[in-house]
Amino acid sequence: MASLNRPRAKIAHVYRGTFMHSTQDTTLEIIEDALLGVDTVGKIAFIGKGSEQDKLSQTFRFSSSNVTQLKQHEFFMPGMVDTHIHAPQYSYTGTAMDLPLLQWLNTYTFPVESRFKDLKFAHRVYTEVVKRTLKNGTTTACYFATIHTDASLLLGKIANDFGQRAFVGKVCMDRNKSDYKETTQECQKETCRFIAELLNKKYPLVKPVVTPRFAPSCTGDLLGQLGAIARKNNLHIQSHISENVDEVKLVKELFPESKSYTDVYHKYNLLTDKTVMAHGCHLTDEELTLFSETGASLSHCPNSNISLCSGLLNVRNVLKHKVKLGLGTDVAGGYSASMLDAVRRTLDTSKVLTIQNPKHQALTFDEVFRLATLGGSQALFLDDQTGNFEVGKDFDALRVNVAPPGGPIDLILCDKPKIQLEKFLNLGDDRNIVEVFVAGRKVVPFMEPAAE
């Protein structure tokens, strides 16, 4: 398992204990008494057996006094990837769950998002959402911001300051009943400014993502321009698709020339292998095939789908179509910013589908663990950089203590690693997440952000 033929990078940290992760071939690989080395640029230099410590320390030149030994009931797992979250909506998370999508947007979302032209308000909310998600183990977040370029740039700065890996999208919409929109030309110009200014900051882990809100709030003209911008700059793309049946109907009315909702995005070059679309509850098999052919991925946001009564995504069917899939919180359609909640709601949704149809094979907890980690990194086209503990990837990790004093879990009958992981996923919270690492850097407990 240790990679001995890579160039010898200097080792910054070595950890010894249980590591659990997913690979391409297995949903859950448990490596007990493992030794993992992280180099000075935050990459995993080696992973081997604890019993080989002497040999590894000679090869990679570290001293045994530098090895951090995990305590009893502790393990490392990969950081979780939130593939869909609206940072501004964190301000009203946990409320406003009483309307279906289209009314919900008009009543709650657009008035709140309008407030983000005020940078002071944006600073407050964006700082809280980055801190809250990091504390809960989200090492990578794919954020929607608002239509405001400067506030969206501020979100990028805050994620960078706290050390979170993030995609940030300035939201584009040129079609809306309320004033919360831009003209097509403004959208195009401001998106280009946002991309240029964010890239210019050279944040190592924060990148722009082209973000049409969703087809109903964008003209075909705008969608076409955004597709061209993404292609020209080789950028990621995010949006929403087939969340709720009224929305699907509306898209049919607005884009009568398109064969399907998926076809609308495809036509405007918005379905690529760097595209992540939220929801997809009501996609047909034909549309899923188009996702698979283009390499576009889905973000499954079960809390939101249930909270707004949107629908139940059949993840098993999505995976059968070989479509990449990660999990998302979809704050504030989803009321929890924690990816642990996304894991639980994914399991619940899958079981509801089995109740409705006993032939449906419900997802297992280790399959969902993979979706929350490696699956998310695949959905965001980041799996060469993050998602598990393979040598050469960035060390994005959670140090979990299943039974800290005063924590939410009592370990009584069995403390085998697999049981510990299952208990943590079902019962754990941020009290169990002792430390969070992104690209080798410890980001929880929080670092002090750089002075203004």
Q: Which residues bind Zn ion (CB under 5 A)?
A: 278, 330
Residue closer to Zn ion by CB (options 198, 278) is 278
Min separation Cβ 83 and Zn ion, Å: 10
Residue 128 to residue 31: CA distance in whole angstroms:
35
**Sequence letter at residue 260:** S
Residue closer to Zn ion by CB (options 264, 278) is 278
Residue closer to Zn ion by CB (options 44, 85) is 85
Residue closer to Zn ion by CB (options 14, 237) is 237
Contact 23, 390 (CB under 8 A): yes
52 three-state secondary structure:
helix
Beta bridge partners of 271: none
Contact 175, 218 (CB under 8 A): yes
Min separation Cβ 304 and Zn ion, Å: 7
Contact 231, 269 (CB under 8 A): yes
Min separation Cβ 278 and Zn ion, Å: 5
438 three-state secondary structure:
strand
Residue closer to Zn ion by CB (options 342, 443) is 342
Task: List CB contacts of 120: < 8 A, sequence separation 6 or more.
Answer: none
Residue closer to Zn ion by CB (options 77, 278) is 278
Residue closer to Zn ion by CB (options 82, 330) is 330
Residue 272 tokens read as 């690529």
Min separation Cβ 85 and Zn ion, Å: 8
Contact 281, 310 (CB under 8 A): yes
Contact 324, 379 (CB under 8 A): yes
Min separation Cβ 84 and Zn ion, Å: 6
**Cis omega (within 30 of 0) for bond into 332:** yes
Task: List CB contacts of 241: < 8 A, sequence separation 6 or more.
Answer: 214, 215, 261, 262, 265, 277, 278, 279, 280, 283
Min separation Cβ 119 and Zn ion, Å: 23
Name the residue among 372, 436, 394 with its Cα closest to residue 134.
436
Min separation Cβ 66 and Zn ion, Å: 44
Min separation Cβ 97 and Zn ion, Å: 14
Min separation Cβ 439 and Zn ion, Å: 26
Residue closer to Zn ion by CB (options 42, 280) is 280
Q: Enumerate the H helices of 322-404 as residue ranges.
A: 339-356, 365-370, 376-379
Q: Where does residue 257 fall: left (phi above 0), alpha (psi -120 to 50 degrees), or beta otherwise? A: alpha
Residue closer to Zn ion by CB (options 302, 407) is 302
Residue 198 to residue 217: CA distance in whole angstroms:
24
171 three-state secondary structure:
strand
- Alpha carbon of 244 to those of 100, 279, 282, 427: distances in Å? 8, 9, 7, 30
Beta bridge partners of 275: 237
Contact 210, 229 (CB under 8 A): yes
Distance from the Cα of residue 397 to its chain's centroid: 14
**How do beta strands 165-169 and 80-86 pair?**
unpaired
Quote helix, strand, coil % in the chain, to nearest 5.
40, 20, 35
Residue closer to Zn ion by CB (options 230, 278) is 278
Min separation Cβ 216 and Zn ion, Å: 13
Residue closer to Zn ion by CB (options 166, 438) is 166
Min separation Cβ 240 and Zn ion, Å: 5
